């Protein structure tokens, strides 16, 4: 499995010179297999625009899975040039809920909030819903499970191509289940199921421990929780993700340099390509 990190920020984009090294676009990760172009995308934040550069003038023909519908995970959809062309084929799947997927998408992408509806983009665009459970999508086996996060039904994903396995929990609020062993949230059953033994774990790491007391009800995780979960689940590699929009490159690097863990821990970096079939 080849993993391209297209967007790494949480909440809102972070432009400017202090955010160049790790990137300022919001959540988007593209997956490819067997040396082919990416066909499965996790989240459609502003980082989705970077996938058009990866495709280098070719159309996107695949599926975008939305973990939830907050702006920072959907804002890239109308600006995805590789999808907005006559020869594209784009399926967007979002967590099933009471209101239908077309209605939910229209709430953020239609006048007067935006001039174009999703069904007015060029190409074959289809919107559908995804239930929790096991699915075969674009040649990948995908497990979708509901995880705690404020403001709407949210899925975490476990994805395998039969050789390598990835866990993706972009927005995770584990303290909703209690303080856990370190006070940052429970290592709950769903988190174990998604992350146990994965080759790569991409996890919400928006806050430091010192920031968490004043932000514990915002719906996210601490960096220490992500590291602890990776350790108890025996993940081989952890990418800290959903960086706080105010977290500068220098601050992220300082945090990484101070971490001590038996798991290989890195900060998700925009533009990075990871081959999960290669040796760590």
Residue 11 makes CB contacts below 8 A (sequence gap 6+) with: 26, 72, 206, 244, 245
pLDDT given for residue 34 in this prediction: 87
The values of phi and psi at residue 55, to 5°, are: -75, -15
State pLDDT tens for residues 117-127: 999 999 999 99
Class of domain 2-275: alpha beta
Which of 45-55 are b and which e, b meaning 16 or more Cβ less than 10 Å from the residue's Cβ? bbbbbbbbebb
pLDDT given at position 217:
86
> What is the token pair recorded at 82?
């590789």
Q: How confident is the model at residue 215 (pLDDT cuts 50, 70, 90)?
A: confident
Tokens of 135: 């699915």
Specify the pLDDT at position 146: 98
Average pLDDT over residues 245-268: 95
Task: Determine the pLDDT at residue 155.
Answer: 98
Tallying the residues shown for the chain, one arrives at: 280
Judge whether 230 and 263 are in contact, CB under 8 Å.
yes
Rounded average pLDDT over 86-94: 97
DSSP string, 38-57: --EEE--STTHHHHHHHHTT
Residue 17 to residue 80: CA distance in whole angstroms: 24
pLDDT class for 245, splitting at 50, 70, 90? very high
* pLDDT exceeds 60 at position 279: no
The Cβ of residue 16 has, within 10 Å, a number of other Cβ atoms equal to 9
- Model confidence band, residue 35 (pLDDT cutoffs 50, 70, 90): confident
Domain boundaries, the chain: 2-275
Averaged pLDDT for residues 134-150:
97
Q: Tell me the pLDDT band of 14, cut-offs 50, 70 and 90.
A: very high
Yes or no: say if 190 and 149 are a contact pair by the CB < 8 Å rule: no
Evaluate if residue 216 carries a pLDDT over 90: no
Q: How far apart are CA 180 and CA 175, in angstroms?
A: 7
- Evaluate whether 89 touches 46 at the Cβ level (below 8 Å): no
Name the residue with higher pLDDT: 189 or 212. 189
Q: What is the pLDDT of residue 214?
A: 86
Q: 51-79: per-residue pLDDT in tens?
A: 999 999 999 999 999 999 999 999 999 99
Percent of the chain with pLDDT over 70: 99
pTM score of the predicted model: 0.96
Could you report the per-residue pLDDT of 154-211, keeping only the tens digit for each? 999 999 999 999 999 999 999 999 999 989 999 999 999 999 999 999 999 999 999 9
């Amino acid at each position: 499995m080849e993993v391209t990190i297209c967007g790494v920020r949480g909440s809102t984009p972070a432009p400017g010179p202090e955010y160049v090294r790790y990137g300022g676009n919001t959540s988007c990760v593209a997956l490819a297999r067997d040396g082919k172009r990416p066909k499965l995308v996790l989240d459609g934040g502003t980082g989705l625009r970077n996938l058009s550069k990866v495709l280098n003038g070719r159309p996107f023909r695949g599926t975008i899975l939305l973990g939830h519908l907050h702006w920072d995970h959907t804002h890239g959809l109308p600006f995805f040039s590789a999808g907005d062309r006559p020869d594209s084929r784009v399926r967007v799947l979002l967590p099933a809920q009471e209101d239908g997927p077309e209605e939910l998408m229209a709430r953020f992408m239609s006048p007067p909030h935006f001039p174009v509806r999703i069904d007015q983009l060029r190409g074959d665009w289809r919107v559908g819903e995804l239930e929790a459970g096991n699915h075969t999508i674009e040649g990948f086996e995908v497990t979708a499970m509901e995880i705690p996060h404020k403001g709407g039904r949210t899925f975490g994903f476990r994805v395998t191509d039969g050789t390598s396995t990835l866990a993706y929990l972009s927005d995770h609020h584990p303290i909703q289940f209690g303080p856990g062993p370190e006070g940052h949230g429970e290592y709950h059953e769903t988190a174990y199921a998604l992350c146990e033994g994965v080759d790569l774990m991409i996890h919400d790491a928006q806050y430091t421990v010192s920031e968490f007391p004043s932000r514990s009800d915002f719906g996210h995780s601490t960096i220490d929780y992500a590291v602890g979960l990776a350790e108890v689940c025996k993940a081989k590699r952890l990418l800290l993700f959903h960086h706080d929009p105010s977290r500068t490159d220098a601050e992220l690097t300082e945090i990484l340099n101070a971490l001590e863990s038996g798991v290989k821990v890195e900060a998700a970096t925009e533009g990075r390509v990871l081959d999960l079939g290669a040796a760590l």
